Amino acid sequence: MSFSPFKIIFMLSLLSGSFLAISSSSWFLAWIGLELNLMSFIPLISSKENQLPSEASLKYFLIQALGSAVIILSSTLTFSFPSISLSFISLALLLKLGAAPFHFWFPQVMEGLNWTQIVILMTIQKLAPMFLISYLPTEFYTYVILWLGGLSSAIVGALGGINQTSLRKILAYSSINHMSWMLFAMLINETSWMIYFLMYALISTSVAFYFSSTQMYFFSHLINLNQSSLPKIISVMSLYSLGGLPPFSGFVPKWIIIQEMILTSFYFPLLILLLSSLVTLYFYIRLTLSSISISPSSMKWNTSFKPLKISSSPLYSSINLFGLLIPSMLLVI
């Protein structure tokens, strides 16, 4: 995504819409912020030259418009039927987030975007709905909806990415799986999910920007990366960190949530979350082992030396390797 002046204006409008929804004192102001965020994101992903971004922008607009309509309808029922109103609002926010069982649109929209747009969709666009969910009062119906949404997101995010060859869809199902951890963290306290979201945003951004710098979109691109073994090692460490494998950075927020769930006796959902994380690590390890062990065919014939361009690779790897420093920091403390 090339940064022209009008895209910078839309980006500022997108951020202001998210902050307006987060800081609003009524559902009407929250709806205005969500609509401002939506109308600013559509021009950033639409394109006249390519049909895939245009199709993705249309799907995204229809889904987000449906979620906003449900929020407006539910807010009118707040005084008459408060429990039903909060239940529909929580379902609409889960639809806007792309959490299961309303996940059907999220991988398809991700497939039509480039890596810069994917970073915005996975981080900034999830900010306002996540905060609005955390603002919901913990009544029985909203508690059950978030509980079931977290369990279904863990299962769908784990099983959906097994047979995928597109890196964008793998990141989409990984985002759905991470959503389950954040939903259960919301049921415990507000600090835990914010820490998890911050770490997830940093790690997923580093992975997406690394794939953008190497122009990798499919599994075959990862195998045919014939420059050097260093980019493959960096991509392997990034994916392991995103999957939450210790001692990489992605394990640190999961470690915090595991401790909080044990203290609050969330044993059954914790078991489901851990099993789903093992499944996501399985397809990450299968992906990375294949990319390391399979040599590209061009290497057998092309013997010319190409200098390696790794201008931003140390930055991406340092974010994912931050977790390696934590044991030594604890020893110092």
Q: How far apart are CA 67 and CA 255, in angstroms?
A: 33
pLDDT band at 316 (very low <50, low <70, confident <90, very high): low
Q: Tokens 């990319």 label which residue?
A: 291
Average pLDDT in the chain = 84
Q: Which helix (H) or strand (E) holds 270?
A: helix 267-293
Average pLDDT over residues 50-62: 88
The predicted model scores a pTM of 0.88
Q: How far apart are CA 80 and CA 255, in angstroms?
A: 42
The most confident of the ranges 157-166, 179-188, 317-326 is 179-188
Q: Are 62 and 108 in contact (CB under 8 A)?
A: no
Q: Is the pLDDT of residue 153 over 90?
A: yes
Query: What is the DSSP track for 231-262?
Result: HHHHHHHHHHHHHT-TTSTTHHHHHHHHHHHH
Q: Return the axis-axis angle of helices 251-263 and 267-293, rounded to nearest 10°.
A: 160
pLDDT at 229: 63
pLDDT at 331: 41
Higher local confidence (pLDDT), 113 or 312: 113
Average pLDDT over residues 58-76: 92
- Token code pair at residue 81: 């039927």
pLDDT at 306: 43
Q: Are 212 and 114 in contact (CB under 8 A)?
A: yes
The tens digit of pLDDT for each residue in 194-230 reads 999 999 999 999 888 888 888 888 877 777 665 556 6
- pLDDT cut 70: percent of the chain above it: 83
pLDDT at 326: 55
Three-state secondary-structure class, residue 123: coil
- Token code pair at residue 190: 């507000």
pLDDT at 300: 47
The tens digit of pLDDT for each residue in 293-308 reads 665 555 444 444 344 4
Q: Is the pLDDT of residue 4 over 80?
A: no
Q: Are 268 and 301 in contact (CB under 8 A)?
A: no
Q: Is the pLDDT of residue 94 over 90?
A: yes
Average pLDDT over residues 267-290: 89
**What residues pair up with 166 in beta bridges, in sequence order?**
218
Average pLDDT over residues 173-199: 93
Three-state secondary-structure class, residue 309: coil
Average pLDDT over residues 276-297: 78
Q: Tokens 């895939």 label which residue?
A: 52
Higher local confidence (pLDDT), 230 or 284: 284
- pLDDT cut 90: percent of the chain above it: 50
